[in-house]
A = this chain, B = another copy of it.
Amino acid sequence: MDKVSNLREAIARDIQDGMAVAMGCALESLIPFAAGYEIIRQKKQDLTLIAPISDIQFDQIIGAGCVKKVVASWVGNVAAGLGHNFRRAMEEGIPQRLEVEEHSNFTLALGLKAAAMGLPFLPTKTARGSDFAREPHYAEIDCPFTREKLLAVRAIQPDLAILHVQRADSEGNAHVWGNFGVLREAAFAAKKVLLTCDEIVDHEVILSDPNRTVVPGFLVSSVVHLSFGSHPSPTQGYTRRDDDFYFEYHKESRAPEGFKRWLEKWILGVKDHSEYLALLGPERLQRLKPEGNLFSLPVSFNF
C-alpha cells in the first residue's frame, strides 16, 4: 500500500489539535525539523510533545505557541545551552503556560518502551533519590521475589511518532542506522507513525537487509520524501549537522521579538521545505553533504 504523501497533507491528516506527538527521538540526530516547521505553519494547538532531548525542536514549537505540555528529560539547545522559549514559557507563561512531565533519559525511554510492549508500566532502579521522581507518573513498588524497592515508570503512549529516517520504501518500511535514542520505542509505542526520509527506495532494498528494518510499514500512516528533512540536525550518510544554525537560533531567540523575526524568516515566511532549502542556499547545502568512504560491509543472506 503506497503511503507516500507530501508534507503538508501528511501533517494536516495525521495531527489533530491536542494530540501527543513523539518527535526528535534519536536525541541530536535525525530530528524531523521540517515536519516541526510544518506543524508551526499549520498552527496546530495544545500539542503534547514527547522526546528525551529534542535539541532546539521543542523550543521552536513551544515558542510558536503550539504546545500545552512536554514529556521530556531535557529541553534546550544542546551545543549552546538554554532554550529561551522553553524558559519564557516556564518562567513567564510566554507565549502560554507550559506543563512538564519530568523524566531522565532512562525513565522517558522506559515509559515509551512500556507502551511499545503493551504494558502499563516498567520497573527501574534509576532516579530513586531524584526530586522529580516524586511526580505522579512514578510510583514505588516492591519486587515480588526479592522485596527490593523499585521505581515504576508509567507508560507513555504517543498518538503519533514523527520520525526522520535515512531510507524507506513507499509502504513505510524503514532502514535506520546510527544511534537510535528512543526511536525504536517511539515507533512501536505510538498509535501511528509519520515518516520523513532522505531517500525513498525500492522494497527490494529493504528486503536485502531485514536486520536494518527498524520500522515495519504496518506501523506507518504516511511517508514523506524530504531530502535534508532533518536540517539542521544530522542524518548519518546524508547530511552533516549545521552547527551555525543552532548558534544563530540561540542568539536570535534570546528575546521574544528576535524569535518572532527568526520564525518569520525561516518558517512562516517560506511556503514549504523546498523554499526553506532555497533560503539556505545551494552553497550551504553543499557544505553539509558528507564526504568519505565509510560504508557498511555486506553480509550474506544466501541459503
A: residues with CB less than 8 A from B are 118-125, 137, 139-141, 143-146, 148, 150, 152, 154-155, 166, 175, 177-178, 205, 208-209, 211-212, 234, 236-238, 240, 290-303
Contacts and interface: CB of A to CB of B under 8 A. Distances in A.
A295 B144 contact: no
A121 B123 contact: yes
Contacts of A301: 177-178, 236-237, 292, 294-296
A169 to B, nearest CB: 13
Nearest to A300: B237
Contacts of A208: 294-297
Q: Which of A122, A166, A303 counts the most chain B CB atoms within 10 A?
A: A303
A145 B123 contact: no
B144 A139 contact: yes
Given A212-B299, A234-B303, A237-B299, 7 more contacts: A119-B123, A120-B145, A120-B148, A121-B145, A208-B294, A291-B302, A292-B301
A221 to B, nearest CB: 25
Contacts of A141: 141, 144
Contact of A296 (B122, B152, B154, B209): B209
A26 to B, nearest CB: 12
A297 B122 contact: no
Q: Across chains A and B, which 3 residue pairs bring their CB atoms closest together, nearest first?
A: A237-B300, A209-B296, A139-B144
Contact of A175 (B137, B155, B209, B299): B299
Nearest to A145: B154
B211 A177 contact: yes
Contacts of A120: 143, 145-146, 148, 150
A275 to B, nearest CB: 27
A240 to B, nearest CB: 6
Contacts of A298: 295-298
Nearest to A143: B120
B139 A121 contact: no
A236 B296 contact: no
A296 B294 contact: no
